[in-house]
Amino acid sequence: MILSINSNENMAVEQNLENLQGEKTPFDLLYSTESGFYKAYELQEIIGQGIASVVRKCLENETKHPYAVKIVDVTTERQSEKEAKLALEEALSEVKLLKKLSGHPSIVKLHDFYPTPTFLFIIFEFASEELFDKLNRAVKFGEKKTRHIMQQLFEGICFIHEKMIVHRDLKLENILVINGDRVVISDFGFAKQLKEGQLLKDLVGTPGYLAPETLRCQMNEDAKGYSLEVDNWALGVIMYTMLSGHAPFYHRQQLRMMRMIQEGKYEFKKELWEHISDGAKDLIQRLLTVPVSKRILSSESLKHPWMLSTADGENPSTISKWDPRRIFRIAQHSIRFLVRMTNSKSTTKLDEGEETRPRPYRSRNY
């Protein structure tokens, strides 16, 4: 079954595309495969896969330049009508936000967009790998390399937040590596355009990166909600993980891990952190601060003494081989573990006796 995109929904989709592209989009392009994506691009190998979408490498026929295309299924053959509509809404929202964020070097470049009644084709610049994969090979990064990456991430988040957009799913898998040393923020499917003073309460994201105020919305009906600051918390998790090779918050039982996050309970274990500078630890502590009003902003982080330093700490080449205690275990397959609650608190249960799925920090949201 094809998700209905006729009558009122047809008009809504066409209006979305007009808004996205800044000019009227011929509606027959929605139905013309020949004059659309497959005429302009040649599909190649799969490079990522999710529940309602797949990411493949593709070549532009005219230039032979490589790109990545996210193909989003908006039919109800493999998903419910509600899920299909949600996939459509998130994909259209992602494209619209990326158009608004176009041009920043730390934001993945949106190259093209082809909608059809059954699939949406979103074409991005091609990335050689995810930051997650790069870190897995290195085990952990030295301070100089981490600083270079964080510089780009802070600048990207500053730009996003200036536009009053919150990403809500920053993680190693959503940071792409372009040509070796440039990194870009990707996957804006959960991103949200905020109004002045607006707070969110829906629980979306990846467990190990969730901010305390996000979790409070699940645990407490009286929670005020959350805003842009959740992205800065996630950057703290990313920085901690890059420098140590371990995640700051991890427990086999979901509820205990969530409590650790809410209480900001993590530590700098001597065997992992003795060669890391106090400046790096201080910035992490400021990012992983539970009270939102005291948490450092990305704009402030760029001025932190550690970010302005040129010193490096431990040489990554001296790091011991793979530590079996790391949560990034190659032997375990990646399982999507996305805590998501859209309508009812009964949708998501955090059972104290339930064990966290393998690699809770490893989750793809294509």
Please give the Cα distance from 193 to 309 (Å, whole number).
34
The torsion angles phi and psi of 363, rounded to 5 degrees, stand at -150, 125
Please give the Cα distance from 342 to 301 (Å, whole number).
32
Task: Decide: 358 and 204 in contact? Cβ < 8 Å.
Answer: no
Active-site residue, selected from the candidate residues 169, 181, 187, 231: 169
The single-letter DSSP state of residue 44 is E
What Rg value do the Cα atoms of the chain yield, rounded? 21
Residue 256 CA from chain centroid, whole number: 24
Please give the Cα distance from 111 to 225 (Å, whole number).
34
Q: Token pair for residue 21?
A: 């592209």
Please give the Cα distance from 88 to 72 (Å, whole number).
8
Task: Decide: 291 and 317 in contact? Cβ < 8 Å.
Answer: no
Please give the Cα distance from 12 to 278 (Å, whole number).
53
Type of residue at 240: Y
- Helix residue ranges, H only, the chain: 7-21, 37-40, 81-100, 131-138, 143-162, 212-219, 229-244, 254-263, 270-273, 278-287, 298-301, 305-308
Q: Token pair for residue 82?
A: 């509600």
Specify whether 202 is catalytic. Answer: no
Residues known to be catalytic: 169
